[in-house]
Chains A and B, each alone.
Chain A
Amino acid sequence: MKRRDFIVGAGTAAAALALTSRTAMAEAGRIDWYTSSDQNVLDFWTNVVQPKFQAANPGITINMVDGGDNAGLQAIAERALAALGSSADPQADIFEGFDARQPVGAIDKGLWVDVKAAGLSNYSKINPLALQLDGLPQNLPYRGSQVLLAYDTTKLAPADVPKTWEALVAWIKANPGQFIYNRPNKGGSGGNFVRRAIYEANGRDPSVFKVDNYSAEAGAKMLEPAWAMLQDLAPSLMDQGAYTSGNTQSIQLLGQGAVTMIPAWSDQTISAINQGALPETTGLVQLQDLGFPGGFSRLVIPSNGVNKEAALKLADFVLSEEIQSAVLTELGGFPGVSWDYVDAALREKFKDVIPASIPVFPGGDWEKAINEGWYRAVAPNVDPNS
């Protein structure tokens, strides 16, 4: 009987422990921070932002949680949305790499803080381009990234690098086997290369693609010329039409000297150069007629977080010159603020990759049509006329 008592007692204790940990309240002064980004961004926050912020703001700490991916953050955001209007505690104070358009209806219900009206001292420094792309006062763009061309300067002199789409196509055809891009659904570098081809096939006008103007007829009319262009390119790619399965594999092939040029994310390439995965002789260039698409990552802040004021303080801190310069040097991204607000020496060093404009391709139905169409029309390397 004693043993049974013990088991019952232990069970009760365990259940009580589980219950208390589930209902634990967010701690005052501890910002619950969630991210959907990759490890390099989490490392940047852990090694740079967190220590600097905590040193500048004694009494406030950051609890960093890796939400995995966008779906992971959406689950947390839905918890915050459900808690809205009740006294329940969402245990979330700030989201990194999220979009206030999610979950559906969150903006109308007032889940996200209007950062524009929140009176951040650094808000006016934000790059107008980033704000214009986004157009939502609840989203706070703080770092950017764009696809550009990374190439091996030992094989291709910077003076001879193609700077327009036409020159790029001519270069690829003149140097068969020296270029590769990844499958458009497996990473943004190849995905945005394909989207740049789609822009080229539609008069280089990003504004003709909108999130809500996809239809089967429009898709056929606007995408098929791009598939023809990419099919035409295939025999000149590595192995007469091979496509890597991700951004990292393309970088690995460039690093091994297997190809001379790849499309790559700016931040990933700069990180790779800093870490030695790519040699110092790697060059970067953006097309001048119309850049490859890219985008800005944002912070969003739920209005019902216990530490909302501290989270706003953190958002303001992230826009400071110190952190924005670190976005360039430590993370290899673009600053979210205008280039006038980063260190002048850095501005000079990175002048080649400073974007004058960043086209942003809409997601939704267009994305689905591109993922399906490319695989069926381009990937099999079958001549449509045969």
Chain B
Amino acid sequence: MTDAPAGIAAATSPAGDIVGSRNRWYLGLLLVAAPVLLVCWLIIYPILSAVVQTVWLPDGAGGHAFSLQTYAFFFSDGYSLANLWITLWTTFVCAVLLLVICLPIALYLRFSEGRLPAYVQALAIFPMFVPSIILSYAFIRVMGPNGMVDIILNAVHLPKIRSPYLTPWGPVIGLVWDHIPLTVLILLSGLGNVSNQSVEAARDVGAGRLTVLWHIILPRIGNSILVAASFAVLGIFSAFTIPYVLGPAAPEMMGPFMQRTFRELYDPTNAITQAVVSFGFCIVFGLFYVRSVARNQRT
């Protein structure tokens, strides 16, 4: 409390303005220091330590030496590569399906009025409140063999479907359903940038629906699409519960594969190697996101 009068004096003196703004600049750095330090401690440091752990291996003589053998094993092992491949495939298919499903929903919610869109929005956001483990068991009930879909097909004398449960399509369907809310919300916020006037102006000069979508709406929400896609990719790449319950035993996605290597094969080094490889793929999409945010702030 003793320094309070001096502080007040500095702020009120004519020269104090310069001192004050310098102080504020310093305070700003202090304010971001806490989150930056937290990120360094909880994210950057574990990443660096993980990378070091996978390349600085015991050399058998009691010491440690630089070695890329865990990576050489991963990229020469057909089983590991099949797991990486199914993860990339699932991620890609899910991202495409999400955009195809969510863009029409978001457009509908943005450009229609009344009570019905409110219900549609509630329905689109609903998956956010369903834990993925419950979703997985419900999926078995509905789309599993002899599930609800089969019962309905049977009632109208159609043959049974080949259930997607325990095939790579099981996790795709589950993950797409699970990620609809986030994707719709991001696209919807992007569509907020599209003014009604510009759409109406385009219509006035005779633009059809597709022309409006292609020339007026899509250019304004390109960024949001990129953000939505990177969020979906990051979430799906590291998914665990849905691929674990609904997917095939092999190939398995990277999430279950890492967990199994770590907890059931007691092999932390290879589990961390798998994690670093996954991280390498995710960082590409992370950079997309960061770049688009940075570009947004400049404009």
A256 contacts B264, C-beta separation under 8 Å? no
Complex CA gap A248/B244 in Å reads 13
Number of B interface residues, CB 8 Å?
Answer: 26
A interface footprint on B153-172 (CB within 8 Å = 1, 0 otherwise): 00000000011011100000
A interface footprint on B164-199 (CB within 8 Å = 1, 0 otherwise): 011100000000000000000000000000000000
A375 contacts B144, C-beta separation under 8 Å? no
B248 contacts A242, C-beta separation under 8 Å? yes
B250 at the interface (CB under 8 A from A): yes
B145 contacts A238, C-beta separation under 8 Å? yes
A257 contacts B250, C-beta separation under 8 Å? no
Known: A239-B167, A380-B79. A246 touches B144 (CB 8 A): no
A interface footprint on B262-290 (CB within 8 Å = 1, 0 otherwise): 00111000000000000000000000000
A379 contacts B145, C-beta separation under 8 Å? no
Residue in B closest to A180 when the chains form the complex, CB atoms? B166
Contacts of B249 on A, CB cut-off 8 Å? 183, 242-243, 245, 375, 379
Q: Identify which of A183, A245, A258 contacts B144 (C-beta below 8 A).
A: A258
Q: Provide the main secondary structure of the chain B interface.
A: loop
Which residues of chain A (338-386) have a CB below 8 Å from chain B?
Answer: 367-368, 371-372, 375-376, 379-381
A371 contacts B166, C-beta separation under 8 Å? no
What is the distance, in angstroms, from A99's C-beta to the closest C-beta of chain B?
Answer: 18
B140 contacts A249, C-beta separation under 8 Å? yes
Complex CA gap A371/B265 in Å reads 7
Complex CA gap A249/B144 in Å reads 10
Residue in B closest to A71 when the chains form the complex, CB atoms? B263
Residue in B closest to A365 when the chains form the complex, CB atoms? B266
Known: A185-B264, A371-B265, A379-B250. A245 touches B82 (CB 8 A): no
Known: A252-B137, A371-B264. A239 touches B166 (CB 8 A): yes
Residue in B closest to A257 when the chains form the complex, CB atoms? B146
Contacts of A371 on B, CB cut-off 8 Å? 260, 264-265
B245 at the interface (CB under 8 A from A): yes
Contacts of A244 on B, CB cut-off 8 Å? 166
Complex CA gap A256/B144 in Å reads 9
Known: A242-B248, A258-B146. A368 touches B266 (CB 8 A): yes
B147 at the interface (CB under 8 A from A): yes
Complex CA gap A381/B249 in Å reads 10
Contacts of B140 on A, CB cut-off 8 Å? 249, 252-253, 256
B251 at the interface (CB under 8 A from A): yes
Known: A376-B79, A380-B79. A245 touches B245 (CB 8 A): yes
Complex CA gap A244/B144 in Å reads 11
Residue in B closest to A374 when the chains form the complex, CB atoms? B249
A interface footprint on B127-165 (CB within 8 Å = 1, 0 otherwise): 000000000010011001111000000000000001101
Complex CA gap A381/B168 in Å reads 14
Contacts of A258 on B, CB cut-off 8 Å? 144-146
Known: A239-B167, A380-B82, A380-B250. A252 touches B144 (CB 8 A): yes
Complex CA gap A238/B162 in Å reads 11
Q: Identify which of B166, B248, B265 contacts A372 (C-beta below 8 A).
A: B265
Complex CA gap A371/B166 in Å reads 19
Known: A375-B249, A379-B250. A368 touches B264 (CB 8 A): yes
B166 contacts A242, C-beta separation under 8 Å? yes
Residue in B closest to A259 when the chains form the complex, CB atoms? B145
A256 contacts B245, C-beta separation under 8 Å? no
Complex CA gap A380/B245 in Å reads 17
Known: A239-B167, A375-B252. 14 other contacts (CB 8 A): A183-B249, A248-B137, A249-B137, A249-B245, A252-B141, A258-B145, A367-B264, A368-B266, A371-B260, A372-B265, A375-B250, A375-B260, A376-B79, A379-B248
**Which residue numbers of B lie inside 8 Å of A, CB to CB?**
79, 82, 137, 140-141, 144-147, 162-163, 165-167, 244-245, 247-252, 260, 264-266
Ordered by A's residue number, 16 sampled pairs between the chains whose C-beta atoms are within 8 Å are: A238-B145, A239-B167, A243-B166, A243-B248, A244-B166, A248-B137, A249-B140, A256-B141, A368-B264, A368-B265, A368-B266, A371-B260, A371-B265, A375-B250, A380-B82, A381-B250
**Which residue numbers of A lie inside 8 Å of B, CB to CB?**
183, 185, 238-239, 242-246, 248-249, 252-253, 256-259, 367-368, 371-372, 375-376, 379-381
- In the complex, the 5 A-B pairs of residues with the closest C-beta atoms, listed nearest first: A258-B145, A379-B250, A379-B249, A242-B166, A243-B249
